[in-house]
Amino acid sequence: MAALGWLTPRRRSASARSVLAGEASAEAARKTALAEAPQVTEPDLDTDFDALLDMGGEAAFPVAGDDLAAAFFDLDNTVMQGAAIFHFGRGLYKREFFRRRELARFAWQQAWFRLAGVEDPEHMQDARDSALSIVKGHKVSELMAIGEEIYDEYMAERIWPGTRALAQAHLDAGQKVWLVTAAPVETATIIARRLGLTGALGTVAESVDGIYTGRLVGEPLHGPAKAEAVRALASAEGLDLERCAAYSDSHNDIPMLSLVGHPYAINPDTKLRKHARTHDWRLRDYRTGRKAVKVGVPAAAGVGAIAGGAAAAIALHRRRR
């Protein structure tokens, strides 16, 4: 996918569905954050933010006590090693949410997308619909409870300490910190709460009376939709985007990174690294080895709320045979 220049987010404008997805995500994030009301951290004026980035030579950011600033962190391979949806899928398979026939279908769809490298609208819609069918009819509360267990089983040990320290620096400065991800908003909210962050912007799956309908509100929170979510949240929160920061590993998030005055490339892919250097954005890589390898299934174009777990599920099935 990274090789397809025509998919670069800088060339993609926000559609009506992107705006709807972004606004729905922002509304869900604010409601959850207000309901949970995490304790506000007192500003820590001694936080050496530049030292965390190992850059130096620039004015430290964040600025303590700046009520008009906040930070937005991508999740997959930025805050957490691998894709959240991959780990969530592993947990659902362990709990027998999938049948073998469903696994085969999801695996084919995922393989087709990765090999063909083309976002055919009809094919992508079919993949999303089939993935959402897994949670259709289930209670939101049920998936939230399972999500808490899955975080402990698969996600907690995969948080990047370096990025976690950057998020804490914003919290120590008295700023709000939000995750922004194509993963389901419920999963993202659990991770944000466990990390002590303010809240999360994620893909919103429609529910009626606490039961998933199998439809999305708008589209997956990916690319331009992420930018729309950040824009909507900033407007509702009274933030000045020029004073905000954003962090991501993916060129798909260039629309979001370009919105803020302080963009950062964390564990960047090739396209984002090139773009960041061209625009003098800060870069930081917390991966090890001569070639940093992404772990897990990429959340490529938000293939679906659950489909990313298919590869993990098949791997687990083979091990059990």
**Residues with catalytic roles:** 74, 76
| Cβ atoms within 10 Å, residue 304 | 30
DSSP code, position 259: T
The answer to whether 218 and 148 are in contact (CB under 8 A) is no
Phi, psi of 29 (to 5 degrees): -65, -45
Per DSSP (E only), the strands in 59-159 are: 70-74
d(CA 204, CA 237): 20
Strands (E) in the chain, as ranges, are 70-74, 176-184, 199-203, 205-208, 211-216, 245-248, 262-266, 282-284
> How far is Cα 5 from Cα 299, in angstroms, rounded to an integer?
18
Tokens encoding 260? 């803020």
Bridge partners of residue 216, in order along the sequence: 205
For residue 258, give the DSSP letter.
T
Closest CA to 259 of 285, 233, 220: 233
How far apart are the C-alpha atoms of 274 and 177, rounded to whole Å?
26
